[in-house]
Amino acid sequence: MEYEKTNSVYLSGRISQAPKFSHELYGGEKFYVFYLDVQRLSGNVDTLPITISERLMQLQKFAFDCGTKIDVYGEYRSHNQDEKNGKSKLLLSVLCKDVAAKTAEHDCNNIELTGYICKPPIYRETPFKRQICDILLAVNRPFFKKSDYIPLIAWGRNALLAKNFMVGDKISVQGRIQSRIFTKIIDEISYEKTAYEVSIQDISNYQEKIDAHISLQEKEFSL
């Protein structure tokens, strides 16, 4: 049986933080996390977390050292981490399915997702009248009864389209993964944190509506 490809990521950039141990599966397979710097055309840099298996790293002929330039192919995954305040922290990372030495001259950041709107979109305008719309997309994993919850941000005409979406609408998006540093104040103490989201460049809406695919837990996500 063929399954619809709903989650695809291609990144090309430079390793900025070497791999560190993350977790181990029940079968004994170990996973590590490293960070990849991907430069935008504007010159700004997105620093993105990449999760990779120890087995896949061992198959490569290059070392995963800082400064190494690589191409990463994979899927964007989310994980809920429960916190003491009863909220759930949404952790995002690219799960590396394949990796190779960088071949392109320029960095690349491309993601394609197909999923279902799982929270009402949040539309707003900046003081300069620029339209923005925040979306939370549930992307199903074909071989597992599980979904990844990916925050998206739409601008301009895409934002005007997205603000009319309803929970259960099926959409496909193409864009890039971006990192954004912000300051959060907790108990009058300022903390510098990083948010990750998909900046939409192109969006397609399907007529299909579905409720059964959405299994979003009734928790408040925080960064």
pLDDT at res. 181: 86
pLDDT bin (cut points 50, 70, 90) of residue 212 is very low
28-37, 156-165, 212-221 — which is least confidently predicted? 212-221
- What token pair was written down for 164? 């009319």
| Segment 41-52 mean pLDDT | 95
Residue 132 CA: distances (Å) to CA of 41, 63, 102, 153, 197 = 21, 41, 34, 7, 13
* Percent above pLDDT 70 for the chain: 87
* Closest listed residue to residue 114, CA positions, set 162, 148, 80, 66: 148
Amino acid found at 70: I
Task: Check the CA dihedral 88-222-140-169 and report its sign.
Answer: positive
pLDDT bin (cut points 50, 70, 90) of residue 104 is confident
pLDDT at res. 218: 38
115-119, 137-141, 182-186, 199-203 — which is least confidently predicted? 182-186
- Rounded Cα distance between 10 and 211, Å, is 30
Task: Check the CA dihedral 107-76-21-26 and report its sign.
Answer: negative
pLDDT at res. 211: 47
Report the CATH number of the 7-107 domain.
Answer: 2.40.50.140
* Closest listed residue to residue 28, CA positions, set 57, 54, 64: 54
**Each residue of 49-94: pLDDT tens digit?**
999 999 999 999 999 999 999 999 999 999 887 766 667 788 999 9
CATH topology of 7-107 equal to that of 112-211?
A: yes
pLDDT at 135 over 70: yes
pLDDT at 213 over 60: no
Domain boundaries, the chain: 7-107, 112-211
- Rounded Cα distance between 172 and 82, Å, is 29
* 83 vs 37, residue with greater confidence: 37
Query: 112-211: what fold?
Result: OB fold (Dihydrolipoamide Acetyltransferase, E2P) (2.40.50)
pTM (2 d.p.) = 0.87
pLDDT bin (cut points 50, 70, 90) of residue 214 is very low
| Segment 155-170 mean pLDDT | 94
pLDDT at res. 217: 42
pLDDT at 96 over 60: yes
